[in-house]
Structure 1
Amino acid sequence: MQPPPPAPAANRRTSRLPRGARRLQLLRAAQDVFVAQGFHAAAMDDIADRAGVSKPVLYQHFPGKRELYLALLEEQVSELAARVAEAMAATDNNRSRVDAAVGAYFDFIDADGEAFRLVFESDLRNDVDVRTIVDRGTGACVEAIAQVIAADTGADAERALLLASGLTGLAESSARWWLPRKGTVSRDEAVALMSALAWRGISGFPRVDGGLPLA
């Protein structure tokens, strides 16, 4: 991949920022570089240049490239988990919940910058710390959905988690397949198709209150 273009000259001045704002600026610059180049090819020089800061400023916030990558990865998996949790909490209509859960994955994967690649296509997938962060984020998504399934169906924890894992797997894989083809299938149509597929299966599970189906 080609490296990202340097930041515009107007943005390359190292002005004083509050620590939190500076950290966010550095994370955004790192995201651009890591997505374009991958972890191994990226250099702290590239990230500092992209952010328009000196390397000492970058090292004040992150002691090394790996720590910067892990911080960025943690931010991205937390965002995905928050999207899914919000989808589950936004309504008590289960069909709408399925739509929202699938949509959360599509929106995360379709977000600007293709940051999803850090989560699902990292060139550090076999790194223990990377795997731990990704698994924790995936687990949070599955748990949020499983809690709803268990509450509504009376399924035990392991079965609810298995069903939730199936739904998140469907949402992730279909969203990643769709992204390069979104010019031919709109986001809304793709989400509707995949949530309909999921709903036709999950709606057959009876509610715990009276044995009626989830629908």
Structure 2
Amino acid sequence: MSSEPTSANAPARGGTAATRRRRREAEIISATRRLFDERGVRDAQIEDIARAVGINRAIIYRHFTGKEELFSLTLVQYLDELRVALEQAAAVTDEPRDQLVRLVEAFVDYGLAHPAFVDCAQAIMRRPGGDLLEEVSESAMYRLGQAISGCLSVLTRTITAGAESGDFHVDDPGLLANMLYASGLGTLQLGRVAMRVSEEEPGVPRISRVTAEQVRDHMVASALAVAAGAPASTGSPTRGR
């Protein structure tokens, strides 16, 4: 008789434990995100994250396979926000060229407003795929893949629509979306540094300022040129042209 209540209560206890685990994981990821935004990715240490949550660092490793997995799942938060920003930008117009302009602008605006997103995304991308798969659990990789593909799908739909309408000349919209994302992260890094180096005269370097507007205009013009099948230009684009 005593075994029946134990069996009946087991699922409830298991569900409660699972809920507590998910809540703790969310707390750790949120604390990591706050430290990223406050200090940057490089200065966010596991000890600081544990202290912010009020736990021992060992508990973090009970929930995540390591620092790479924790950082990957923190990146998911940024990517989910970015996807919403991209969807809102795409909803403004149905014209593929104008839509692409707005998508790139939204990407630039988000990246400049969240420099830790750029750092985190680049840190993950610098890892060889095989190494990352060994250090990050399958479920975490799946969540990261979902977040990245969610952003890229918005861009891919716009490029596909432009190819179908004849505005763009692209054989593989998905590949171009991936390339624009990767190259965009690099250009955003230049926007964060806000400096460019040129040669004023032979052997004499010159450092000058790069503005957010220049970064935005360059990325928009480059995306439009590549999608149209033309060499990239650094000129300022005009919507709906």
Structure 1 length normalisation: TM-score? 0.62
Conserved 8 A contact 2:118-2:188: no
Contact kept, 8 Å, 2:41 with 2:119, in 1: the verdict is: yes
Distance 1:185-1:70 versus aligned 2 partners, 3 A rule: closer
1:160–1:195 distance in 2 versus 1, CA, 3 Å: same
Contact kept? 1:27, 1:72, Cα under 8 Å: yes
| Deviation at residue 24 of structure 1 after TM alignment | 6.2
| Distance in 2 (alpha carbons) for counterparts of 1:190 and 1:124 | 26
Superposed displacement of residue 131, structure 1? 5.9
Bigger Cα Rg: 2
Q: Is the counterpart of residue 143 in structure 1 residue 186 in structure 2?
A: no
Q: Is the 8 A contact 1:109 1:115 kept in 2?
A: yes
Local SS of the residue matching 2:73: helix
Q: CA distance change for structure 1 residues 71 and 198 in 2, over 3 Å: closer, same or farther?
A: closer
Gap runs ≥5 in structure 1 = 1-18, 206-213
CA shift in 2, pair 1:107/1:163, >3 Å: same
Task: Give the drift of 1:118.
Answer: 1.8
The CA RMSD over aligned residues, in Å, is 4.0
Cα deviation digits, residues 87-140 of structure 1 (max 9, x gap): 222322334322222223323322346233222214766321376555443333
Would the aligned equivalents of 1:99 and 1:192 in 2 still touch at CA under 8 Å? no
**Offset from partner CA, 1:167-213 (integer Å, 9 cap, x none):** 333422211222111692322332123212322343469xxxxxxxx
Sort the Cα spacing of 1:164 and 1:65 in 2 relative to 1 into closer, same or farther, 3 A.
Answer: closer
Is residue 172 of structure 2 the alignment partner of residue 172 of structure 1?
Answer: no
Q: Report the residue type matching 1:143 in the other structure.
A: S
| TM-score normalised per structure 2 | 0.57
> How far does residue 64 in structure 1 lie from its aligned partner after superposition?
4.1
* Equivalent of residue 159 in structure 1, options 161, 172, 177: 172
Amino acid at match of 1:167: L
1:192 matched residue in structure 2: 217
Query: When you count strand as a share of all residues, which structure comes out higher?
Result: 2
| Residues 1:134 and 1:105: Cα distance change in structure 2 (over 3 Å) | farther
Q: For the residues of structure 2 that align with 1:171 and 1:193, how far apart are their CA atoms?
A: 10
Task: Decide whether the 8 Å contact of 2:96 with 2:161 is kept in 1.
Answer: no
Q: Is the 8 A contact 2:96 2:159 kept in 1?
A: no
Q: Give 1:63's aligned residue.
A: 63
* Shift, 1:65, TM fit: 6.5
Q: For residues 124 and 158 of structure 1, what CA distance do their matches in structure 2 show?
A: 28
> Size of the alignment, in residue pairs?
182
| Aligned counterparts, 1:47-126, within 5 A | 47-51=49-53, 53-55=54-56, 59=59, 63-64=63-64, 66=66, 68-112=70-114, 114-122=116-124, 126=131
Query: 1:76 touches 1:116 (CA, 8 Å); kept in 2?
Result: no
Q: Percent identity?
A: 18
In structure 2, the partner of 1:13 is none
CA distance in 2, matches of 1:26, 1:87: 31
